[in-house]
């Protein structure tokens, strides 16, 4: 079978499985998830053995220590996957929610109800725990999954999927064995083929670096929900509580710089710059954060703090667009809310942005006009997260506007349909 036929078979099997998945009850789905969790723990030795093969391949490929660490599965990480599955089992079923209901003058009752999407392709990088996380969220929401992880994680991903499928089948007669499939080849050409099969595949979600996501979006004929990057901003308004601003900026930048909802750029209103910048500068420098400032920022910091050049640099145009995921922060002094909003809408990535102010009019303008998935007033950007939003689990954060936007939990893995309940109505 050539690659095209192989991908077509995979996708066709997934579509058929998705029809069967839609018939499972909530209790059946939860029983499967709990059985899968137990099976992952019981099968830990085999999973670690498969993972050891991947680690060998990874070492031969000269993966960095960080990459190898992400690839590695140990008992703790396997338990953590199992725990994740049990948490998904405990969440409410996102399918069958009544989203709208109306009775028309002719007596026809219309109900808008949530449904599975169908077949979801997930493309991701190294970390094999994504296999269990993504598959469990898709399964709970009634979707068949086709998983494509990094080539160096193929053995790990396959055994995780097989363990879950075997457990699902044992736990529930109606469990379709193609509900969870791993693309069985590392061939790069598999992706564009798979993502051309619009008759079978309903959605693709790439997770990973910007270049991976761009490559997927470029080749896909099926809808893609993506999260390119998180270039998040905090704007300290003229009417900000500067102590609060200090805490929020510090948290947004430093609490966990490696994640997408960490801030990359601080915007400070010109009227408070002289007062605020030295305060936040001191705290950031103490944490070894590099500041890339515009001229006004550097003038203030140089005058007030006499900082060594090493930690204070001139910002470049490209820096404003950059997700550092590191201890680096751009700072710009701006003249008012309008300028802050314009900066964010131009340079930002439509992820998460925050205003710190006690001025309600300024806050409302910012909340209304910043065109991002999550916009905060007096809170850290770090809250954009499925768990923090009370979704219980998260498969990603969308910076798109069609389909889900912001954190994607189980509800965001559903579509909907309209049901019409009649008593013989015809159109006149």
| Binding footprint of a second copy on the chain (CB under 8 A) | 19, 22-23, 102, 104, 108, 110, 115, 117-118, 198, 202-203, 217-218, 221, 223, 225, 241, 244, 247-248, 250-252, 255-256, 345, 354, 367-369, 371-380, 382-384, 388-390, 400-403, 405-407, 415-428
User: Tokens at residue 13, please?
Assistant: 């099997």
Integer angstrom CA distances of residue 137 from 144, 145, 156, 202, 387: 10, 10, 19, 16, 14
Nearer to a second copy, 60 or 417 (CB): 417
Q: How far is the CB of 361 from a second copy (least distance, A)?
A: 13
Nearer to a second copy, 312 or 373 (CB): 373
User: Tokens at residue 357, please?
Assistant: 């102010």
Q: DSSP 3-state assignment of 178?
A: coil
Please provide residue 290's backbone torsions phi and psi, each rounded to the nearest 5 degrees.
-85, 135
Q: Which residue, chain included where needed, has tokens 């010109």? A: 270
Q: How far is the CB of 421 from a second copy (least distance, A)?
A: 5
Q: Give Cα 55 distance to the centre of its chain.
A: 26
How far is it, in rounded angstroms, from Cα 136 to Cα 156? 16
How far is it, in rounded angstroms, from Cα 107 to Cα 104? 5
Nearer to a second copy, 242 or 305 (CB): 242
Strand (E) positions, 17-97?
Answer: none
Q: How far is the CB of 356 from a second copy (least distance, A)?
A: 8
Q: How far is the CB of 331 from a second copy (least distance, A)?
A: 19
Nearer to a second copy, 294 or 412 (CB): 412
Contact 53, 183 (CB under 8 A): no
Q: How far is the CB of 336 from a second copy (least distance, A)?
A: 15
Nearer to a second copy, 198 or 275 (CB): 198
Nearer to a second copy, 159 or 252 (CB): 252
Contact 259, 389 (CB under 8 A): no
Q: How far is the CB of 104 from a second copy (least distance, A)?
A: 6
């Amino acid at each position: 079978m050539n690659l095209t036929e192989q991908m077509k078979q995979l996708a066709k099997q997934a579509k058929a499985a998705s029809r069967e998945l839609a018939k499972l009850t909530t209790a059946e789905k939860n029983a499967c998830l709990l059985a899968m969790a137990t099976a992952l723990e019981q099968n830990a030795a085999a999973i670690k053995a498969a993972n050891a093969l991947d680690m060998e391949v990874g070492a031969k490929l000269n993966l960095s220590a960080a990459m190898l660490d992400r690839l590695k599965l140990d008992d703790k990480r396997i338990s953590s996957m199992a725990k994740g599955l049990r948490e998904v089992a405990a969440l409410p079923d996102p399918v069958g929610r009544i989203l709208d209901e109306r009775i028309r003058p002719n007596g026809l009752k219309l109900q808008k109800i949530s449904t599975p999407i169908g077949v979801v392709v997930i493309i991701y990088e190294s970390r094999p725990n994504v296999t269990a996380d993504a598959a469990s969220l898709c399964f709970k929401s009634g979707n068949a999954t086709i998983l494509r992880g990094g080539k160096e994680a193929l053995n790990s991903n396959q055994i995780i999927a097989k363990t879950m499928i075997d457990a699902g089948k044992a736990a529930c007669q109606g469990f379709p064995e193609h509900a969870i499939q791993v693309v069985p080849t590392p061939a790069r050409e598999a992706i564009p083929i798979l993502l051309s099969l619009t008759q079978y595949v309903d959605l693709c979600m790439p997770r990973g670096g910007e270049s991976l996501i761009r490559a997927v979006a470029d080749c896909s004929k099926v809808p893609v929900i993506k999260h390119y990057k998180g270039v998040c901003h905090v704007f300290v308004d003229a009417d900000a509580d500067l102590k609060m601003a200090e805490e929020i900026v510090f948290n947004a930048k430093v609490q966990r710089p490696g994640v997408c909802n960490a801030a990359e750029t601080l915007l400070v209103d010109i009227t408070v710059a002289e007062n605020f910048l030295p305060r936040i500068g001191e705290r950031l420098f103490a944490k070894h954060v590099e500041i890339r400032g515009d001229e006004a920022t550097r003038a203030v910091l140089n005058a007030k703090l006499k900082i060594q050049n090493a930690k204070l640099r001139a910002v470049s145009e490209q820096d404003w667009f950059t997700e550092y995921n590191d201890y680096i922060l751009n700072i710009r002094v701006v003249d008012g809310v309008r300028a802050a909003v314009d900066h964010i809408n131009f340079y930002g990535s439509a992820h998460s942005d925050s205003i710190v102010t006690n001025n309600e009019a300024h806050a409302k303008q910012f909340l209304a006009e910043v065109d991002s998935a999550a916009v905060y007033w007096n809170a850290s950007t770090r809250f954009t997260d499925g768990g923090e939003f009370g979704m219980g689990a998260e498969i990603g954060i969308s910076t798109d506007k069609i389909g889900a936007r912001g954190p994607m939990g189980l509800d965001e893995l559903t579509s909907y349909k309209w049901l019409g309940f009649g008593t013989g109505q015809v159109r006149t």
